[in-house]
């Protein structure tokens, strides 16, 4: 059992020191817990909007969407007011996609960690910043992951932000559950899917998950839609088209847009250049800004009474 940091003395502690010690420890543990909770709340209160990016299935380009959305919001008038929490403990990709590989989290005099600051003042926290190298795996079961995510939220000097985007790993396990529990006023989730039926089936689980844990769904983004051959211009649906839209209609969820499969998105992500910053006039960039507009509308339409807290 953890040593209490401070003991509460009660009037008859001399008569029965054993039992009082136990109750003192309990009181102190509760106090510590409540201090932790207050620290978390203080941090979260300074962030206007918290949006999680989820998908039932991996590899649908969730991190690409998160990185480009953060960049789009920062370009759209929120310079220095956007943060990204990479909550994928086992496979953190955000630092690479935002060109921040090799950076580390540094502690400040206030005991809080400073997030790494990227282009347009985007503040980023990721497990990747704590690993000795790219090859080091994080072999952790659920409870340790929950603790790490808690610390990323409460022990980081996020400061005053307009938007915090949280990139969650695939599935409906420990990480998304932890985020939903730790952030009671989460504005909502953006669900990313790709146009294949196998993925569609899994994404429906993500929709049910959000509804079961009572988190608003902002909408669905379909990533990697029709591919245009750069040689002949033929449009080929490598993955079958239209799954995202179908789910959106089927489930009465806003459809935010389809991002076309563009080899530049992949090569830019590999180079750490968010696609939309490098290709300002491309169709995919226009779609990202359209998604920004729809998210802003969602947040404006949301009445305070609909907030979960």
Positions that interact with its own copies (CB under 8 A): 56-60, 63, 89-91, 93, 96-97, 134-143, 145, 169-174, 177, 194, 196-198, 201-202, 204-209, 212-213, 227, 229-232, 234, 236-240, 261, 263, 266-267, 269-270
Minimum gap (Å) between residue 106 Cβ and its own copies = 22
Q: Kindly tell me the burial class for residue 166, based on how many C-beta atoms sit within 10 Å of its own C-beta (0-12, 13-18, 19 or more).
A: buried
Q: From CA 245, how far away is CA 256, in angstroms rounded?
A: 9
CB of 21 or CB of 136, closer to its own copies: 136
Phi and psi angles of residue 162, each rounded to the nearest 5 degrees, phi first: -85, -35
Minimum gap (Å) between residue 268 Cβ and its own copies = 11
Q: The tokens of 260 are what?
A: 């076309």
Minimum gap (Å) between residue 304 Cβ and its own copies = 28
DSSP 207-219: HHHHHHTT--EEE
Phi and psi angles of residue 191, each rounded to the nearest 5 degrees, phi first: -100, 125
Q: From CA 31, how far away is CA 5, in angstroms rounded?
A: 10
Phi and psi angles of residue 9, each rounded to the nearest 5 degrees, phi first: -95, 140
Q: From CA 210, how far away is CA 176, in angstroms rounded?
A: 9
CB of 54 or CB of 218, closer to its own copies: 54
Minimum gap (Å) between residue 233 Cβ and its own copies = 9
CB of 78 or CB of 88, closer to its own copies: 88
CB of 205 or CB of 302, closer to its own copies: 205
CB of 94 or CB of 292, closer to its own copies: 94
Alpha helix positions (H), the chain = 17-45, 62-75, 94-97, 142-154, 174-182, 197-212, 243-251, 263-271, 275-278, 283-301
Minimum gap (Å) between residue 189 Cβ and its own copies = 13
Minimum gap (Å) between residue 284 Cβ and its own copies = 14
CB of 21 or CB of 238, closer to its own copies: 238
């Amino acid at each position: 059992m953890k040593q209490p940091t401070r003991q509460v003395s009660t009037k008859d502690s001399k008569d029965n020191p054993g039992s009082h010690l136990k109750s003192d420890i309990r009181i102190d543990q509760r106090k510590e817990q409540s201090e932790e909770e207050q620290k978390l709340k203080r941090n979260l209160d300074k962030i206007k909007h918290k949006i999680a990016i989820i998908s039932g299935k991996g590899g649908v380009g969730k991190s690409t969407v998160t990185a480009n959305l953060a960049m789009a919001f920062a370009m759209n008038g929120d310079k220095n007011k956007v943060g990204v929490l990479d909550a994928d403990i086992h496979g953190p990709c955000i630092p690479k996609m935002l060109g921040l590989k090799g950076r580390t989290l540094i502690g400040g005099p206030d005991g809080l960690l400073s997030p790494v600051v990227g282009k347009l003042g985007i503040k980023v926290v990721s497990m990747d910043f704590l690993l000795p190298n790219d090859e080091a795996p994080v072999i952790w079961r659920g409870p340790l992951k929950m603790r790490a995510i808690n610390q990323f939220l409460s022990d980081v000097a996020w400061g005053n932000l307009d938007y915090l985007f949280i990139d969650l790993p695939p599935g409906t396990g420990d990480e998304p559950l932890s985020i939903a529990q730790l952030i009671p006023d989460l504005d909502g989730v953006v669900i990313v899917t790709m146009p294949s039926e196998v993925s569609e089936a899994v994404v429906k689980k993500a929709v049910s998950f959000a509804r079961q844990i009572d988190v608003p769904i902002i909408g669905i983004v379909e990533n990697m839609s029709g591919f245009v051959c750069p040689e002949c211009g033929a449009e080929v649906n490598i993955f079958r088209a239209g799954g995202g839209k179908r789910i959106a209609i089927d489930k009465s969820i806003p459809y935010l847009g389809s991002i076309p499969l563009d080899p530049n998105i992949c090569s830019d992500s590999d180079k750490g250049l968010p696609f939309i910053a490098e290709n300002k006039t491309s169709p995919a960039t226009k779609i990202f800004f359209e998604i920004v507009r729809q998210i802003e509308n969602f947040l404006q339409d949301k009445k305070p009474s609909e907030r979960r807290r």
